[in-house]
Structure 1
Amino acid sequence: MRFLFVHGTGVRRERHETLFALVKAGLTARFPGAAVDSCFWGDRFGATLSAGGRSVPGMGAPEHPGAPDPADAETAEWALLLTDPLCEVRVLAEAGWDDGPADGDGFGMPGVRPPGIQVLQLLDRLAELPGGAGDPGTPEGGELAALLHGTGLAAGFPAALEATAASAEAARAGERATGQPQARELATALARAVTAAALASAGAEADCTGVERDRLVELLTTRLGGDARVPGARAAAVLGRLAMRVTTQPLLNAWRPSLTADATPALGDILRYQARGAELREFLHERITAEPGPTVLIGHSLGGIALVDLLALAAARGEPVPGVGLLVTVGSQAPFLYELGALTGISPGTKLPYAFPHWLNVYDRHDLLSYLASPVFPGDPRVSDHRIASRQPFPACHSAYWKQAALYERIEQAVAEAEIG
């Protein structure tokens, strides 16, 4: 009997040697008389950046050397707002402003109620309007209504208004805004909070440019008695630098070249296989048939996908791969690709070909790249799933199978069930 190990995506020579050593040790311990071989394909069929990554912005010479692009800071701030729409309002609620005399410039009605409370009253009135402040049937309609509908934000806008107006953060900030400049800054922060909440609610369904977003903030700020031309100084001073540190966009901009280079083997191998998988399948066929069977094929991740495709295509042609007695996929995406219609060898809704071998599919619930096979091929006695619990989080669990005694115990059971001797 012979075992042939087929590694997964992103694996190159050094990593392959480490993984195969674990596989060979685990199999030899249970099958001392069996041959354990490997099919290393990473260097020959794996993905590389053939042009040195020149398609990646920033991979070569910087597009804008020198100071960071101000747009990066703005993008980072809005990324923070989309995650927590009230973050700027919360800064004003907790940090407040330095005490100082109100400037008495006619904002609201000084002396009757603090200017900040008047801003909140205006926000409350907007939230109470039918359909929100953008209802075209109200005097406050017009441009705002058209903007909300044109950006896909109309549906979530009333709830965004209401949530912001009713928030404890807004109430506290309103109490602390005792002067006119403070009230104007609060108006801007509230308008940005409402806009961010509406954008977050719409998610990927939003069709909103930065210009449209800024105009929405400007319209809301004006209605609240503020001045949208200058961002809130207090909140911006606290959160601007924080946004550049903790949000992903600036990091992605800076790290995109290295991230792309690092991700190319793993992601690139999958994309290359989808486009030119026949080359790898032909290579696997040659390696499988180079030695007499019976052969147990063990495919990890993308290796499992390629083996399922190869065996299914060959069986469908009436030319099953000689000598294959058992297929074992470990941490494989083949069942998921089958459901998507992205598996080359089997179309969605069709059964495995008659000559397809017994298939043991091993998964770990914490491995986000592992899927179940038997539910998508219901009633097929050749297909079984087995769960491994490595107790490791993703992505470590995707490679943690090979040190688990339970894996080799289950393979030994599957070999016996398939009557491979």
Structure 2
Amino acid sequence: MRFLFVHGTGVRRERHDRLFALVRERLTARFPDAAVESCYWGDRFGATLGAGGRSVPGLRPRPLPDGAPYPDDAGTPDPVDAETAEWALLLADPLCELRVLAEAGWDGVGGRADWPDGPDGPDGPDDDDRDDRDDDHDDGFAMPGVQPAGQRVLGLLAALAPAPPPDGDELGALLHATGLAAGYPAALDCAAGSGEAAGAAARATGETQAREVATALARAVTAAALALAGAEADCTGAERDRIVELLTTRLGGDARFPGARAAAVLGRLALRVTTQPLLNARRGALTVGATPALGDILRYQARGHGLRDFLHERIAARPGPTVLIGHSLGGIALVDLLALAAARGAAVPGAHLLVTVGSQAPFLYELGALTALEPGEKLPHGFPRWLNVYDRHDVLAYLAGPVFPGDPRVSDHEVTTRQPFPACHSAYWKQDSLYERIEQAVAEAEIG
């Protein structure tokens, strides 16, 4: 008996050798008389950037023609990148700017100087702020019968029509043209009924503060509508900004008011926690780094026959029963090979047991993207026993049994590595329970 290990996507020689040494040690300890071999395919069938990455925006040669290195241009973000990052944060949490105003207010702990870049955000003090500082100061008293400025904004928000008409109203026309109309009523309710809006309005005692609350509310409603629309939204940045302007005006605010305080707090945070600025600055390097893992999968899907032929040769090269162990993409290739061969009535010689670990083969089968089988098609006669091992925290691992119901050859086994993704995708090989289950499957298949 022998074991043949087929590695997964993105693995190259150095990584393969370390991984296989571990697998061989563990299998040999349990099967001292078995041959344990590997089928390394990364260099021959793995993906590379054939044109040197010329298709990748931002990937530039190093050094420059004159020998000087490129400057590090990732330090100062482009204003468009900063704006994109802010809206990415708003789409994830539409109320985040209102939350800043509700919790920090304007004259909170430490006063105005605590705000980043000075008291009025990155653009410095504006004329309106200087004019209204006396109005903005909350001394705990209010004129009888006079509604606080922030509460007045909330009243205007509550009075907005939940379904502006698509004709004769610019806001309604924009909402319908961008695909946001369906989610707009829920977006209004989300903002109007939130504790964040109530808290921000309560702190806004002056007109300048109320204008900022109006801007934050308009951005929150627009962001919530965009988030609800998801991929169905057809909204440009200019259309989004115009919706914010129209809503701000209807809430009694000033469309040119920047909302400096919330932006000052969240602007840098957005750049840190969203991915787009990083992608813009480092896309080339990230693409090159991701090429082995992602590229191997894409290349296999387009030209997998070469790898399958190579595996067939290696399996059939030695007589006797063979246990095939495929990790990730290696498992996909083995499922394809064994199913295609069995369907032709020429099962791969010696392939008595298939073990897939962290494999996407069942998911591709459901999608109709598995080369060997159409969705709903049964595994052909001659396909060997199949043990599929997964960790529920591994997002690249899927269940085989439920998609091949009633097939006694197929079984799933859960391994708990106690690691998050992506570490769990490679953590199987040190788990004793994996090898215990393989040993059980070998006994069940009566391989000796």
Question: Normalising to structure 1: TM-score of the pair?
Answer: 0.91
Q: Offset at 1:373?
A: 1.3
Question: 1:378 is matched with which residue?
Answer: 405
Q: Please give the alpha-carbon distance, in whole angstroms, between the structure 2 residues aligned to 1:342 and 1:110.
A: 70
* 2:212 equivalent to 1:185: yes
Contact 2:166 2:176 in 1 (8 A): no
Q: Offset at 1:278?
A: 0.3
Question: 1:313 is matched with which residue?
Answer: 340
Aligned partner of residue 100 in structure 1, secondary structure: helix
Q: Please give the alpha-carbon distance, in whole angstroms, between the structure 2 residues aligned to 1:57 and 1:362.
A: 39
Question: 1:120 is matched with which residue?
Answer: 154
Q: Which amino acid aligns with 2:106?
A: W
Which of 241, 246, 254 is matched with 2:273 structurally? Answer: 246
* 2:327 equivalent to 1:300: yes
Q: Offset at 1:170?
A: 2.0
Aligned partner of residue 371 in structure 2, secondary structure: coil
Q: Which amino acid aligns with 1:119?
A: V
Q: Offset at 1:63?
A: 12
Question: 1:96 is matched with which residue?
Answer: 105
Q: Please give the alpha-carbon distance, in whole angstroms, between the structure 2 residues aligned to 1:316 and 1:188.
A: 64
Consecutive unaligned residues of structure 2, counting only runs of 5 or more, are: 62-69, 108-131, 137-142
CA deviation digits over 1:9-66, x for unaligned, max 9? Answer: 1111111111111111111111111111100000111111122222122111789969
Q: Which amino acid aligns with 2:44?
A: R
Question: 2:200 is matched with which residue?
Answer: 173
Contact 2:304 2:333 in 1 (8 A): yes
Aligned residue runs from structure 1 range 69-218, under 5 A = 69-97=78-106, 100-102=133-135, 112-126=146-160, 129=161, 131-132=162-163, 134-136=164-166, 142-218=169-245
Q: Which amino acid aligns with 2:45?
A: F
Q: Offset at 1:110?
A: 12
Q: Offset at 1:80?
A: 1.3
* 2:431 equivalent to 1:397: no
Question: 2:123 is matched with which residue?
Answer: none
User: Hey, which bits of structure 1, 4+ residues long, moved more than 4 A?
Assistant: 61-67
Q: Offset at 1:177?
A: 2.3
Q: Please give the alpha-carbon distance, in whole angstroms, between the structure 1 residues aligned to 2:296 and 2:23.
A: 22
Q: Please give the alpha-carbon distance, in whole angstroms, between the structure 2 residues aligned to 1:243 and 1:371.
A: 34
**1:302/1:229 CA distance change after superposition, 3 Å:** same
Aligned partner of residue 298 in structure 1, secondary structure: strand
Question: 2:289 is matched with which residue?
Answer: 262
CA deviation digits over 1:244-302, x for unaligned, max 9? Answer: 22222212222322221221111111000000000100111111111112111111111
Question: 1:236 is matched with which residue?
Answer: 263
Greater shift in the superposed pair: 91-100 or 405-414: 91-100
**1:169/1:362 CA distance change after superposition, 3 Å:** closer
CA deviation digits over 1:175-209, x for unaligned, max 9? Answer: 33232222222211111111111111222221111
Q: Which amino acid aligns with 1:340?
A: L
CA deviation digits over 1:51-84, x for unaligned, max 9? Answer: 2222122111789969532100110111111122
The share of aligned pairs that are identical, in percent, is 79
Q: Please give the alpha-carbon distance, in whole angstroms, between the structure 2 residues aligned to 1:136 and 1:341.
A: 41
Question: 1:106 is matched with which residue?
Answer: none
Aligned partner of residue 101 in structure 1, secondary structure: helix
* 2:49 equivalent to 1:40: no
Q: Please give the alpha-carbon distance, in whole angstroms, between the structure 2 residues aligned to 1:121 and 1:181.
A: 17
Greater shift in the superposed pair: 68-77 or 175-184: 175-184
Question: 1:289 is matched with which residue?
Answer: 316
Contact 2:77 2:277 in 1 (8 A): no
Aligned residue runs from structure 1 range 320-331, under 5 A = 320-331=347-358
Q: Please give the alpha-carbon distance, in whole angstroms, between the structure 2 residues aligned to 1:322 and 1:195.
A: 62
Aligned partner of residue 387 in structure 2, secondary structure: strand
Contact 2:165 2:173 in 1 (8 A): no
Question: 1:26 is matched with which residue?
Answer: 26
Q: Please give the alpha-carbon distance, in whole angstroms, between the structure 1 residues aligned to 2:206 and 2:446.
A: 85
CA RMSD after TM alignment: 2.2
Greater shift in the superposed pair: 34-43 or 351-360: 351-360
Aligned partner of residue 133 in structure 2, secondary structure: coil
Aligned partner of residue 102 in structure 1, secondary structure: helix
Contact 2:8 2:329 in 1 (8 A): yes
Greater shift in the superposed pair: 331-340 or 239-248: 239-248
Q: Please give the alpha-carbon distance, in whole angstroms, between the structure 1 residues aligned to 2:202 and 2:387.
A: 65
**1:237/1:410 CA distance change after superposition, 3 Å:** closer
* 2:243 equivalent to 1:225: no
CA deviation digits over 1:337-394, x for unaligned, max 9? Answer: 1111111111111111111111111112222111111221122222122222222222
Q: Please give the alpha-carbon distance, in whole angstroms, between the structure 1 residues aligned to 2:205 and 2:391.
A: 58
Question: Normalising to structure 2: TM-score of the pair?
Answer: 0.86
Aligned partner of residue 135 in structure 2, secondary structure: coil
